[in-house]
Structure 1
Amino acid sequence: MPATSQSNPSRGRRTFRMLAAAITLASAGALAAALPADAHDSKHSRPLPSRYQDVQLLSFNDLHGNLEPPSGSSGRVTELQADGTTKTIDAGGVEYLATHLRQARQGHPYSVTAAGGDMVGASPLISGLFHDEPTIEALNKLDLDVTSVGNHEFDEGAKELGRLQNGGCHPTDGCYTDTPFEGADFPYLAANVLNEKTGKPILKPYWVWKKKDVKIGFIGVTLEGTPGIVSAEGVKGLTFKDEVETINKYAKVLQRQGVKSIVALIHEGGFPASTAYNYDCDAPGAGAGISGPIVDIAKNVTPAVDALVTGHTHNAYVCTINDPAGRPRMVTSASSFGRLYTDTTLTYDRFTGDIARTAVKSANHVVTRDVPKAPDMTQLISKWNTLAAPIGNRPIGYISADVPNTGTESPMGDLIADAQLAYGKQLDPETDLALMNPGGVRAGLTYAAKAGEGDGVVTYAEGFTVQPFANTVNLQDFTGAQVIQALKEQVSGANAAAPKILQPSSGLTYTLDLTKSGADRVVTDSIRLNGAPIDPAATYRVATNSFLAGGGDGFTTLGLGTNDLVGADDLAALAQYLTAGSSATSPIAPPVPNRITIVQ
């Protein structure tokens, strides 16, 4: 590519006429190539712009309100070394993210920052307690230009998302500070999220970034399957359309407006062959490189789109996937929780108004914690922590060791299920069992002391990090046959390709045979409740959260329960269980994850 060729000779009409007398004008491109490297507009004595302009696209995704550095594995990334080994690096924290982004922008006058959704939702206490106003404030300070919506942007419904965009005090909690909440300085894009009544997008479908004569359009979508992973109340009155059809539709709209450089922000992702953030999935011998839903999306999105910024799966990758015309196209994701950011160079061609695809380059970078903290972010965190402290620092229980959120059956998942069973029995002594969805368990509990507490103390803030969704604990009646069917739905139907293993309360046991396929992986004859086989004809009282009670995560059978009883929120149930069942001298031990026997 002639990266030093000059462009737009019409801006210097005198130069244009002189050249026209000497050569035959075959095309504007031929003329541009004929201009000398130091071509000037002689009338105004200024240099003509280069034909090609590098535009820096900085991007990240799935921040989930993690303003403070995330702890444990959530605050580390894996780096592939030259010798093939790996090492882990502590990463994340908005104070460091701000510094890295600001440093990355230096020397790049043409720079735009975009995000791939889930900026908020499932957030730690410092943000979630205040309905994520602190995160929006932080994103404004980060100079975020645009983001797509993600599924978690709908945790509190479309009206609350509109408030985050437009500002205003919370309808029930009011204003948290003397300064009214102003909302996001950047547009949330929701091209494929329609109001059922009007059939129109609930927020802007696209946005155009402009810098002098350079313009790039952004189209934002979330995954079409959002209703299956968000509470029914959160998506009430909304329709979610196909990602590819929507992007292709608005790409045509942008083209009709003269915008030919287009980036799609897609809250859907893939699964790279390596967990290392710097794994080269395009390298020879890299194998499958990347798999998952984003592959089919990328293969079918119109070639008019020049790059795809993705998210949702919390993975890190920078890959090329061929578009429908067979041309390689960049597809990126920057992990989650602000641990990485992606730096992509888009080479804009002023002659065509399009991106020169052969010049696109991209890489993920670690948000290391060895750089100075951004003072404005430190001040923001301090302000909100001061407001949250009276609630967040309150002890709610004691543990004797770490309660990790790892494995097919996790100790943390078992503990939550036990808490919901105990709470269910308080509401109705006939409650038999509890089931907890794994995606609702956002972290484990750490034994080591944090500032202001001792070893083994569990604070409300820590509990909030584990269960931030404010789901209610619901009781419903199911037949034994329905309980068996629900367990089989863990590994079949919508969950066949990516199983979602429910966390069982104490007393429920069964075998999961991974050598088999589909629903057969749940061994029916092995299912026991307190040692007795589940009776298909009997009625069982089951405690779940409101998300599962609505059939979420592909558990359609759990949406068919009867004799509903809605209790308090699930965090309150966990706090009550820890408070009643532990003390400083008698802490709760982590449950042994032996309720599911796994055959491999």
Structure 2
Amino acid sequence: MARWSVSRRTLLVAVGLALVAVAVAALVIPRRSVAPPLVDVQLLALNDFHGHLEPPSGSSGQIDGVDAGGVEYLATQLRLLAEEVQRPDTLTVAAGDLIGASPLLSAAFHDEPAIEALGLAGLDLASVGNHEFDEGSDELLRIQNGGCHPQDGCADPARPYTGAHFQYLSANAFVTATGEPLLPPYAIREVQGVRIGFIGMTLEGTPAIVTQSGIEGLDFRDEADTANRYAAEMQEQGVQAIVVLLHEGGTQAGGGGINDCTNLTGPVVDVVGRFSGAIDVVVSGHTHQAYNCVLDGRVVTSASSFGRLVTDIDLRIDPSSGEVVEARARNVVVGRDVAPDAAQKELIGYYRTLLGPVAAEEVGEASGPITRAAAPSGETPLGNLTADAQLAATDDEEGAVAAFMNPGGVRADLDAGPVTYEEAFTVQPFGNYLTTLDLTGEQLDCLLEQQFVTERILQPSATVRYTVRQAGTPGSAADPCAGTKVDGITIGGSPVDPGGTYRITVNSFLAGGGDGFSVLPRATNDVVGGADVDALTAHLGANRPVAPPATDRITLG
């Protein structure tokens, strides 16, 4: 009996163990894995806002045949685009030049209104553009961190400036003394469980297009090398989805629409071509153009300027690998046919009240529209008018015989009819001062030859005439004077003597070598005068009504 019962127990145990083994085996049988669903992420992007709180005027206020822009409508459009996808984690980003070269409503308060408005609109991250350096790196840090202006104090002591509610990123602007980035080079944001890295940078050539005091103590490094460095650093942290916010851009060939990429040319093409494969999307800017491209397998976009477009970028990310598996983009017009945002409307009204009546003061009159439309020579009516105004302000007191204006310093057209101080300020918003200096005739010739190296045609005063030889050859960056493009320079009807000395007026930006005109810092006997906008308003008042100047000062031969 005992032997039987032991055998039975042994049998039962054996059977039990076998059943357990079968169960365990069933548990470890390989099953077909189910991939997690892709994560959809929306990015909304803009660039080159330039403090345009209110809708831009004239041709600057249109895009794609539609009246566009104005932060009241921009904020509404951003909200509507976010609501389309019905997700709470949309990120709004920007590619630089949010401030600087701004209309009076923002510029009068050191662009604090623009920063506040963009924060209200939900901006999360932005790269630093060249114009963020217009008032220097200390001022840029104040704009980011808050505090009253060191000279002008708080616009409203009862409502001190608290800083940007978004983060500026600056990967390739380094403090010379320390070798460290001026601002964080990148940021990582988690959206629906996936991590996305954003690298922010401006163009390497910033020192050539910003007043020298603005970039003092800073070094600017190569865009592609810098982006690749920080992309690799983020990959080491497990971030595989990477977006670059790049303040550098390109231009489509004629006829390209806001969502086209027709023979895109410009620095952005080379920069993007040197990016590592880790970078998925590039939000670009600087050229104020609209385009929607795929370059080297990555989406590259630009939303024109002044808040007239928003780029809607849709990413699909594999949550297992963190990689972007699909990216699509579209540029959307910020039309004025939507309800204006109430908070933005209130903000604009607040700063309008602070600004007071100076903005509406009538300073002159134009007999017709005076625009920045370029003639084949490169002259523009408004550029020529500005040069005339600067000469008129310095001919008697400083003995100037000619003046030249950089085309990028003329920022808005003038409509026909009365011209207010605000409109004049919008034409010349940089706060530059007139500088009158001595150039030899040989240096003057070199200055004009250098236009064809820098690819920026200076706007001449009415006293200047010369011919551009289309068969001539430009000089080089190392020796601009070697060019043979310019011939027959006259001032006041008399040929320029290479050995003579001529008093020439330019603005302080050009006098410091801005836009790459390296001849001007070698001039002598420079005298700094009044503000450029004061010269313009005085000229408008003295010649009322002023007519659009002819663009016949440069002849193509």
TM-score normalised by the chain length of structure 2: 0.91
1:89 aligns with 2:66: yes
Shift of 1:155: 0.6
- Number of the residue aligned with 1:422: 392
- Number of the residue aligned with 2:478: none
Shift of 1:169: 0.8
Which SS does the other structure have where 1:442 is aligned? Answer: coil
Shift of 1:207: 0.7
Aligned equivalent of 1:459, options 408, 416, 420 = 420
Shift of 1:114: 0.5
Q: How does 1:292-307 map to 2 (within 5 A)?
A: 292-307=266-281
Letter in 2 for 1:74: S
- Number of the residue aligned with 2:504: 542
1:436-473 CA-partner distances (Å, limit 9, x unpaired) = 000001112111xxxxxxxx221110111000000110
Q: How does 1:303-318 map to 2 (within 5 A)?
A: 303-318=277-292
1:370 aligns with 2:337: yes
Distance 2:66 2:512 in 1: 39
Shift of 1:212: 4.5
1:227-258 CA-partner distances (Å, limit 9, x unpaired) = 00000111111110110111111111111222
1:393 aligns with 2:395: no
1:173 aligns with 2:152: yes
- Number of the residue aligned with 2:95: 116
- Number of the residue aligned with 2:168: 188
Letter in 1 for 2:73: Y
Q: How does 1:64-103 map to 2 (within 5 A)?
A: 64-78=50-64, 88-103=65-80
Whether the 8 Å contact between 1:514 and 1:521 is mirrored in structure 2 is: no
Distance 1:234 1:77 in 2: 32
Distance 2:129 2:549 in 1: 33
Distance 2:133 2:171 in 1: 14
Whether the 8 Å contact between 1:275 and 1:316 is mirrored in structure 2 is: no
1:208 aligns with 2:188: yes
Letter in 2 for 1:31: S
Q: How does 1:444-523 map to 2 (within 5 A)?
A: 444-447=413-416, 456-492=417-453, 495=454, 499-514=455-470, 516-519=472-475, 523=485
1:528 aligns with 2:490: yes
Shift of 1:173: 1.1
- Number of the residue aligned with 2:479: none
Whether the 8 Å contact between 2:473 and 2:484 is mirrored in structure 1 is: no
Aligned equivalent of 1:336, options 282, 297, 305 = 305
1:140 aligns with 2:119: yes
Identity %: 49
Structure 1 stretch 457-466 or stretch 271-280: which is displaced more?
271-280
Whether the 8 Å contact between 2:440 and 2:500 is mirrored in structure 1 is: yes
Shift of 1:475: 1.0
- The gaps in structure 1 that reach 5 residues or longer are 1-16, 34-49, 79-87, 323-327, 448-455
Check 1:345–1:279 CA distance in 2 against 1; reply closer, same or farther (3 A cut): closer
Letter in 2 for 1:350: P
Distance 1:76 1:148 in 2: 25
1:589 aligns with 2:556: no
Distance 2:473 2:308 in 1: 36
Which SS does the other structure have where 1:96 is aligned? Answer: helix
Distance 2:153 2:24 in 1: 68
Shift of 1:578: 2.2
Distance 1:18 1:295 in 2: 59
Whether the 8 Å contact between 1:402 and 1:446 is mirrored in structure 2 is: yes
Q: How does 1:242-321 map to 2 (within 5 A)?
A: 242-281=222-261, 289-321=263-295
Aligned equivalent of 1:130, options 106, 109, 133 = 109
- Number of the residue aligned with 2:133: 154
Distance 1:475 1:517 in 2: 30
Which SS does the other structure have where 1:542 is aligned? Answer: strand
Whether the 8 Å contact between 1:488 and 1:522 is mirrored in structure 2 is: yes
Q: Which has the larger radius of gyration?
A: 2
Check 1:368–1:20 CA distance in 2 against 1; reply closer, same or farther (3 A cut): farther
- Number of the residue aligned with 2:5: none
Shift of 1:591: 1.5
Which SS does the other structure have where 1:32 is aligned? Answer: coil
Which SS does the other structure have where 2:183 is aligned? Answer: coil
Letter in 2 for 1:481: E
Distance 2:78 2:109 in 1: 26
1:380 aligns with 2:336: no
Check 1:513–1:443 CA distance in 2 against 1; reply closer, same or farther (3 A cut): farther
Shift of 1:291: 1.3
Shift of 1:274: 4.2
1:24 aligns with 2:30: yes
1:230 aligns with 2:210: yes
Structure 1 stretch 522-531 or stretch 64-73: which is displaced more?
522-531
Whether the 8 Å contact between 2:466 and 2:489 is mirrored in structure 1 is: yes
Which SS does the other structure have where 1:431 is aligned? Answer: coil
- Number of the residue aligned with 2:409: 440
Aligned equivalent of 2:381, options 403, 411, 417 = 411
1:122-164 CA-partner distances (Å, limit 9, x unpaired) = 0001101111000001011111010000000001111111111
- Number of the residue aligned with 1:350: 319
Distance 1:298 1:204 in 2: 21
- The gaps in structure 2 that reach 5 residues or longer are 1-22, 476-481
Shift of 1:399: 2.1
Letter in 1 for 2:30: T
1:326-378 CA-partner distances (Å, limit 9, x unpaired) = xx11101111111111111111111001211xx21111111111111111111
Check 1:525–1:355 CA distance in 2 against 1; reply closer, same or farther (3 A cut): closer
Question: How many pairs are equivalent?
Answer: 523
Whether the 8 Å contact between 1:51 and 1:351 is mirrored in structure 2 is: no
Aligned equivalent of 2:369, options 383, 390, 402 = 402
- Number of the residue aligned with 2:197: 217
Distance 1:166 1:180 in 2: 12
Check 1:258–1:504 CA distance in 2 against 1; reply closer, same or farther (3 A cut): same
1:20-71 CA-partner distances (Å, limit 9, x unpaired) = 825437xxxx6234xxxxxxxxxxxxxxxx4310000110100001111111
Check 1:259–1:378 CA distance in 2 against 1; reply closer, same or farther (3 A cut): same
More helix, by proportion: 2
- Number of the residue aligned with 1:44: none
1:393-434 CA-partner distances (Å, limit 9, x unpaired) = 112222222211211211111111111111112431x21111
Shift of 1:90: 1.3
